[in-house]
Amino acid sequence: MFRTLLRRPSLLIGLIVIALVLAGALFAPLIAPYQPDAQMFDGLSLEGAPLPPSHQFPLGTDTLGRDLFSRLLYGARTSLLIGLVANGIAVLIGLLIGTIAGYFSGLVGGTLMRFTDLMMAFPALLLAIVLAALLHPSLWIVALVIALVNWAQVARIVYTETRSLAERDFILAERAMGAGHLRILVLHILPHLVPTAIVWGTLGIATTVLLEATLSFLGIGVQPPEPSWGNIVFESQSYFQQAPWLVFFPGAAILMTALAFNLVGDALRDITDPTQRGRG
């Protein structure tokens, strides 16, 4: 498995980018030259316009004279925290519902999967906008909203795998020996679902980061002055022609982070899929 990992340059690139983003988020207080909400008079030109990248301000300043590099570092904390928390909750909900529906077929499984299909029928972004608008937007509310709209895909995948596992000979043998449902689920079903949960958990972080950025860009995500990559773009969109770096740098951070998690998730999916081993 590790030899396969080393033969994938795209995976190594993804891991390097993720490591850099995580390091920037974790050590933001040590790396950032300024506080993210510090407004400085020397951060604006004489006409009150934001300054371009310079030695004093590596990525320039925003419309309020705040250092963009510092805000991106602290914004990485917000975006990654929401991505990890929201996606972790979504994977847990999807794993729980998918496993129960796949193992207990009939009325229980049918009801749970019809509810899952109903959730998948709604556009995720539209549902997230409605939920975020009904609730008071905050960091944890945004994470909860994203989790509530992203679990259905995981549940559908887990359901299909659980249905297949429940009909295997070793599961039938466990039942014949009198093993209870809880023992079968915990000791024999869930261990086989761990690779799927890891892969979808990794892939889902990219989707979650993008969705958080979209909600913040629309003004119903993380609220200022708490920085996130999405609301940095939202605050600077009207100055795109005057100060394009205000949109380019946070946009590039969102793009590179989402791409990195997708590269890692795709590689893990290929490695854990027996039909893909030996290819590439």
Residue 52 forms part of a structural domain: no
- Which residue carries 């915990």 as its tokens? 186
DSSP 74-115: HHHHHHHHHHHHHHHHHHHHHHHHHHHHHHSTTHHHHHHHHH
Taking each helix axis from N to C end, the angle separating 139-166 and 68-103, rounded to the nearest 10 degrees, works out to 30
Residue 163 forms part of a structural domain: yes
Residue 145 forms part of a structural domain: yes
**What tokens were used for 161?**
């795998």
Using one digit for the tens of pLDDT, what is the confidence trace for 155-194? 998 998 888 888 888 888 877 887 777 888 888 888 888 8
Greatest alpha-carbon span in the chain? 82
The pLDDT score that the predictor gives to residue 97 is 92
How many structural domains are present in the chain?
1
Cis-peptide into 137, omega within 30 deg: no
Residue 105 forms part of a structural domain: yes
- CATH code at 219? 1.10.3720.10
For residue 94, the enclosing domain spans 73-276
Q: What is the mean pLDDT of each run of 10 residues along the chain (280 residues)?
A: 70 89 92 89 74 88 88 90 88 91 85 88 79 76 84 89 85 80 84 84 82 79 81 82 88 90 82 53
Contact 138, 223 (CB under 8 A): yes
The pLDDT score that the predictor gives to residue 280 is 43
Residue 78 forms part of a structural domain: yes
Residue 269 forms part of a structural domain: yes
